[in-house]
Amino acid sequence: MKKKLKEIAEIIGGEIINQSEEIIKIEITGVNNIQDAGPSDITFAVEPHLEKAGLSNAAAVIVPETVYEFSKPAIRVANPRIAFTLLLDLYTEKPQIDPGIHSTVVIGKDVKIGDNVSIMAYTVIADGAVIGDNAVIYPHCYIGHKSKVGKDILLYPQVTIRENCTIGDRVIINSGAVVGSEGFGFVTKDKIHHKVPQVGGVLIEDDVEIGANSNIDRATTGFTVIKKGTKIDNLVHIAHNVVMGENCLIVAQTGISGSVIVGNNVTFAGQSGTAGHLKIGDNCVFTARAGIISDVESNSFYSGYPARPHREWLKIKAAGVRLIDFTKKIKELEEKIKKIEQTEK
């Protein structure tokens, strides 16, 4: 694909810096990062990477709207990251997937399949399942008894959706993910663990994305819920009866324990985790490896284990670094006190 810089500026709603005839006619054939961009590629940059982008091999750079002069041909936009995302989507060749059901697909009784659906080889669809319009289901997927998947969904290879689960529209689930596995429920009597039947389901609302090898447990009763717009990274575990709010970000290797209720726009950084039965308010951020063991109010920024306000955690870490100096100083003071006591005797 080739597009002139002027066309790209129109697509991303930007303004070209120094709009000479020569600059607006520059042809862009690719989109790349600063380091790998070639002489016909466009890249983007924000501080502190603007200088590096100016020295790169890129033909042009997308920059923040606060930049008025640049060493290379550049387009000013309100949000360079969003503009770059639009161009990546525009320039990236997508696999051509034709509608149709492969001959090896196993379809149970009373299954309803929408229009323009593509179901690839060796997928199994159990009795009573419903598949929405324009769904794309890659090979070796499983959709369980009476489960429903919505319109425009994308299931990559080896996705498992167990029985009685509901998946909304435009949901993307990556390879190896499991929706509706049994919640971890046991009652211990006389040192023997007795299984609690996990008879609930999972509800995934619209525009959710679930990463590879992540797992969302079915509820003991009722539903485990992932609300609209939430994005889940790879290797995440969400336990039974969790309610995850809208537009949350859950980064790799995070674990959310059973019956936790999470508000909207909450971010869990990598390897963070919670105790069970907690309530977490809206707009919270938990840094990497945060261990949340009690309820958290809205608009909190927490770190560490046990998780505490970030500034408080920073002070504790800073004090910990100085412990060796404190210990040495205490020993010196003890020696001085001993000498004083001996002198007084």
Could you give the residue numbers annotated as active site? Answer: 240
How many Å apart are CA 134 and CA 148, to the nearest integer?
14
- DSSP reduced 3-state for 60: strand
Nearest to 55 by CA among 69, 70, 76: 70
Nearest to 247 by CA among 280, 208, 284, 286: 208
Angle between helices 310-321 and 323-344 (to 10 degrees): 50
Pairing mode of beta strands 160-161, 255-256: unpaired
Structure tokens at 194: 């007795």
What does residue 89 show for φ and ψ, rounded to 5 degrees?
Answer: -65, -40
One-letter amino acid at 317 equals K
Pairing mode of beta strands 148-149, 165-167: parallel
How many Å apart are CA 60 and CA 50, to the nearest integer?
12
Nearest to 278 by CA among 268, 267, 293: 293
Task: For Cα atoms 207, 123, 214, give the angle at the middle one, nearest 5 degrees.
Answer: 45
Nearest to 299 by CA among 285, 319, 309, 311: 285
Tokens 């923040």, located at residue: 64
